[in-house]
Structure 1
Amino acid sequence: MAVYNLKTVQKLPVTLEKAWDFFSSPANLADITPAKMGFHIISAHHGAKMYPGQIIEYTVKPLFNIPLYWMTEITHVQEGRYFVDEQRFGPYTMWHHQHHFKSIEGGVEMTDIVHYKLPLWVLGDIANSLFVRRQLDDIFNFRYKKVEDLFGRWS
């Protein structure tokens, strides 16, 4: 019954303001999620920009094209520096996702840190080994490439 984590770091050749403006908008989430995940925001009042207490509801289709309901809450926001989303309802027992942004020479360093736990004790651990971790790695690899397409490759 483990808590798993993953971390990605990406450098973007854009200003902090441009990176923050894009990533702090829930409307852009679908653009950086693989189409095969069937990501669709369903909340009526999710707002244009991230703010503490914000609830975002969506459906995803991670397995066999079956839609799953997922609700996250934006629990922390420090403008231009970081925000945190936490699952309130969804497929994980725990999901805590930190998004950090830092100005560096020539652009922005963006770091994602995710801690997650799966349900069903040892069955969840087996599922993580068989496909969940690989699927999360695929999602973050897709996101990395999509962000390069949108903002350019770090030289």
Structure 2
Amino acid sequence: MKHHLKYEQYIDASMDEVWTFFSDANNLLVLTPDNMKMKVKSNLTNTQLYEGMRIAYTVSPLFSIPLFWETEILEVSNQSHFIDIQRKGPFKYWKHKHTFISQEKGVLMIDEIIYELPFGFIGNIFHKPLVLNNLKELFIYRKQIIQEMF
């Protein structure tokens, strides 16, 4: 069963500023709460996102158990959107589209995630208490950080 999440946030900054920040892979660490213990495993010599770029990292969102995750940047459209997918990791399927829309005095950022948990029915039992709640906390954290930064 695939799940769909959508988050929107208005950012009071220029498209150039917003795109520069979000298209830099190093800023993924800034946007991840410390309690997730994210560690980037890839040697990122070029941190600007590009199609085909792979980023490997570990996160520990549950019980401090590190989970390996590798994502690939599937598509990049300058100052419009980028899409990442999971190549290896905890989900059966993961696709995350980041869209940026110029507004009169800022940028509307839209995150759309489609994901599927492993283990079918059993995995879905843990969806709300473990996965959905962690994702909601992550986006609440990101919203606060982005508001502070911009």
Aligned residue for 1:140, secondary structure, equals helix
Q: Which residue of 2 aligns with 1:39?
A: 38
Q: Which residue of 2 aligns with 1:60?
A: 59
Instruction: Figure out how many residues of one structure are paired with residues of the other and give that number.
Output: 150
Give the Cα–Cα distance (whole angstroms) in 1 for the partners of residues 64 and 79 of structure 2: 36
Do the aligned residues in 2 keep the contact of 1:46 with 1:55 (CA within 8 Å)? no
Residues 77-120 of structure 1 deviation map (CA, whole Å, 9 limit, x = unaligned): 00010000000000000000000001101100000000000001
* 1:116–1:46 distance in 2 versus 1, CA, 3 Å: farther
Q: For structure 1, which segment, 12-21 or 39-48, has the greater mean C-alpha deviation from structure 2 after superposition?
A: 39-48
Whether 1:29 and 2:46 are equivalent positions in the alignment is no
Do the aligned residues in 2 keep the contact of 1:41 with 1:59 (CA within 8 Å)? yes
Displacement of 1:130 in angstroms is 2.3
TM-score by length of 2: 0.97
Q: Which residue of 2 aligns with 1:122?
A: 121
TM-score by length of 1: 0.94
Aligned residue for 1:62, secondary structure, equals coil
Displacement of 1:46 in angstroms is 6.0
Residues 16-40 of structure 1 deviation map (CA, whole Å, 9 limit, x = unaligned): 0100000000100011111000111
Identity %: 37
Give the Cα–Cα distance (whole angstroms) in 1 for the partners of residues 47 and 136 of structure 2: 28
Do the aligned residues in 2 keep the contact of 1:55 with 1:73 (CA within 8 Å)? yes
- Structure 2: 5+ residue runs without aligned partners? none
Q: Which amino acid aligns with 2:28?
A: L
Q: Which amino acid aligns with 2:92?
A: T
Give the Cα–Cα distance (whole angstroms) in 1 for the partners of residues 128 and 108 of structure 2: 30
Q: Which residue of 1 aligns with 2:88?
A: 89
Give the Cα–Cα distance (whole angstroms) in 2 for the partners of residues 7 and 119 of structure 1: 21
